[in-house]
Structure 1
Amino acid sequence: MSHSMPQKKVICVIGVTGNQGSSVAQRFIQDPTYHVRGLTRDPSSSKAQELAAQGIEVVQANLDEVSTLQVVFAGANIIFSVTNYWEPFWRSDCRQKAAERGISCRQYAYEIELQQGKNIADAAAQHVDSLEDNGFIVSTLSHAQKSSRGEYRELYHFDAKADVFPDYVANNYPNLAGKMSCVQTGYFMSSYKLIPDAYFKKTNDGSFWMTFPTAPHVTVPHLDVNADMGNFVYAVSKMPPGRSYMAEGTTCSWTEYMRLWSEVNSVPAVYRQASLEEFVLGSPDAEFGREAGDMLAYSTNPGYDGGDKSLLKASDIRQAGIDCPMTSLEQFMKKENWLNVLQKT
């Protein structure tokens, strides 16, 4: 009598070549009970090929076309969803289209991300029966407009996510909502690479200044996205459905961030709160300055998490008896190569 291998569980990972998706795929591939199906626009890219070589099934899918998603979600037991505001935000054709319509590139990118999120939800709802009880794990952020009671109406890269995950899903697909976990992500520890001058402005005396519009002693979550998103989502998949999380390795103020960074690199470094206007003026791209500036100001009040104190963290997952290793900000800083920043002229 032959003992057949138990059927592997299928996890579909959206954006498998991106920061979050590749981390999730690489964590689940380590568990032999899973088959990892990674979605990407271009399976021939070098990053996609690299993942395929690790045993990940890389498939072509387009988040702008719900039909392509319906096909690749077939038989999925878990779907990991992530959408990317910044991809259309920076694209010159999108900026052109935004200008033609007389709207900001920020709003245009919001509309694209919002529609992609709805497409993911629409396609996932077609396959809700094959999903595990906690089989729809979505990367999202707090709802800025609601959480700030209308003070922040243009924090588009937050609301494009929150308008779908959880709102659109809850309003349209109660069965899918019942299988959903919402994972908010903290500030990526690697984001300094995008705006090194905002994080670390080298002054004439060789010291470094960080100037953000966040109050000096307000704490914000920090996430080593490439190392930890996979660990966190894998741990969340073992939890009951219907909960909301904050993925972070350390929650601390930007003042504390600079104190740690100063200590790790043995250079003087300080945090100074800037006005929103000053931050925007200092940004290489004004629209990016507005989007990031709003996020940094919103982090003061009501808070990066929208003031939601009920979000579960890695420590709560561990208390439930589930392993959830995360990288602290100090550990990240110690393993990172800071030469490019330190040697700035």
Structure 2
Amino acid sequence: MTKLICVVGVTGNQGGSVAQRFVQDSNYRVRGITRDPTSAAAQKLSAQGIEIVAANLDDVQTLIPAFAGANIIFSVTNYWEPFFRPDCRAKAEELGISCRKYAYNVEAQQGKNVVDAAAKTIDTLDENGFLASTLSHAGSCSKGKFTELYHFDAKADVFPGYVDEKYPNLAKKTSYIQTGYFTSSYKILPVAYLCKQPDESFQMSFPTFADVSVPHLNVNADMGNFVYAVSQMPPGKSYMAAGTECSWSEYIRLWGEATRLPAKYRQVTMEQYLEFVPDRALGEETGDMLAYTSDPGYDGGDETLLKADDIRKVRSLLPHETYY
């Protein structure tokens, strides 16, 4: 009998990668959750045999039937859509709050809606049936130094905060998957990642210590494989999804070797960073993230997070038919 996995945000980076991995396994049926099932991306997935269901993360009543009968639910929320949308920025101004805080409010509520809906089908979920993409809690991990790193805390306040508080039985069936820096993030901040200098060299300029180790993730290629492996692990664990780890100075050195272009890393102050990021709010949000990466660390300094090697070790000790 095939199992049903429901994938939130199936047309996005994380959800799309998860759907592509599970659709390869004939033991699973994949149900993709999206706002617009008529979009070209949704129709392409439908042609692959993925069931496409319309639901809105802002409306829990649409999510409940979308999750019905699920054995696994993959959850992901999106801070950056309400952050960038002009109508959301206008609404934030109307409310007298920053667009950063407004996007936090949207993402946190959407996360709670996903959790509320998942709790309605808890009886059908596998032992490790709720897999939530999240990040570390910047406010608590930094002991109050970073209180406005909203795209981190909007996730962590729900996953695990809200889950643990409201649904202890769901928490017992949950695994949390933090994601490393997307390797595609340079597209959002090209001036900080790869700024061409007058001498034709390139400079990466971040307010992060040059030698601190950073997790990196090719989200489209690797997130699905990671989530698939986590789904076959025991519940109640937290993970860091990353394909590799290296410092930003090592990152740009390798980039220079690969492109045969001169490149270097320069640690800058927050004030310097904000000067060359065109969107002030984006500079503040990402600048806080980059500074947080120095201390306590991108993962909040949590040394208990399991990584790919930990999964491989566990799987090597278990029966083949259980985990492959």
Alignment partner, residue 255 of structure 2: 261
Match of 2:304 among 307, 310, 319: 310
Alignment partner, residue 204 of structure 1: 198
CA distance in 2: counterparts of 1:206 and 1:16, whole angstroms: 41
Match of 1:122 among 116, 122, 141: 116
Alignment partner, residue 58 of structure 2: 64
Corresponding letter in the other structure for 2:80: W
Alignment partner, residue 88 of structure 2: 94
Q: How far did 1:196 drift?
A: 1.3
Are 1:47 and 2:26 counterparts? no
- 1:116-152: per-residue Cα shift (whole Å, max 9, x none)? 0000000101111100000000000000000001100
Alignment partner, residue 270 of structure 2: 276
Alignment partner, residue 242 of structure 1: 236
Are 1:29 and 2:26 counterparts? no
Corresponding letter in the other structure for 1:124: A
CA distance in 2: counterparts of 1:112 and 1:37, whole angstroms: 24
Are 1:9 and 2:21 counterparts? no
- 1:247-279: per-residue Cα shift (whole Å, max 9, x none)? 001111000001100110011100000111111
Q: How far did 1:45 drift?
A: 0.9
Alignment partner, residue 174 of structure 2: 180
CA distance in 2: counterparts of 1:243 and 1:195, whole angstroms: 32
Aligned partner of residue 148 in structure 2, secondary structure: coil
CA distance in 1: counterparts of 2:30 and 2:273, whole angstroms: 42
CA distance in 2: counterparts of 1:160 and 1:322, whole angstroms: 35
Aligned partner of residue 321 in structure 1, secondary structure: helix
Aligned partner of residue 320 in structure 1, secondary structure: helix
- 1:129-176: per-residue Cα shift (whole Å, max 9, x none)? 100000000000000000001100000000000000001000110010
Q: How far did 1:322 drift?
A: 6.0
Alignment partner, residue 246 of structure 2: 252
Aligned partner of residue 58 in structure 1, secondary structure: strand
The question of whether the paired residues in 2 share the 8 Å contact of 1:209 and 1:270 is answered with yes
- 1:226-260: per-residue Cα shift (whole Å, max 9, x none)? 00000000000010000000000111100000110
CA distance in 1: counterparts of 2:120 and 2:43, whole angstroms: 29
Alignment partner, residue 334 of structure 1: none
Aligned partner of residue 23 in structure 1, secondary structure: helix
Alignment partner, residue 191 of structure 1: 185
The question of whether the paired residues in 2 share the 8 Å contact of 1:66 and 1:119 is answered with yes
CA distance in 1: counterparts of 2:234 and 2:12, whole angstroms: 27
Q: TM-score, normalised by structure 2?
A: 0.97
CA distance in 2: counterparts of 1:226 and 1:183, whole angstroms: 15
Kindly tell me the number of residue pairs found equivalent between the two proteins. Answer: 317
Consecutive aligned runs of 4 or more in structure 1 exceeding 2 Å deviation: none
Corresponding letter in the other structure for 1:82: V
Q: For 1:279-290, what aligned pairs fall within 5 Å after superposition? A: 279-290=273-284
CA distance in 2: counterparts of 1:139 and 1:263, whole angstroms: 33
Q: How far did 1:321 drift?
A: 2.2
CA distance in 1: counterparts of 2:3 and 2:73, whole angstroms: 11
Give the unaligned 5+ runs of structure 1: 1-6, 324-345
Identity %: 66
Aligned alpha-carbon RMSD (Å):
0.9
Give the unaligned 5+ runs of structure 2: 318-324
Aligned partner of residue 103 in structure 1, secondary structure: coil
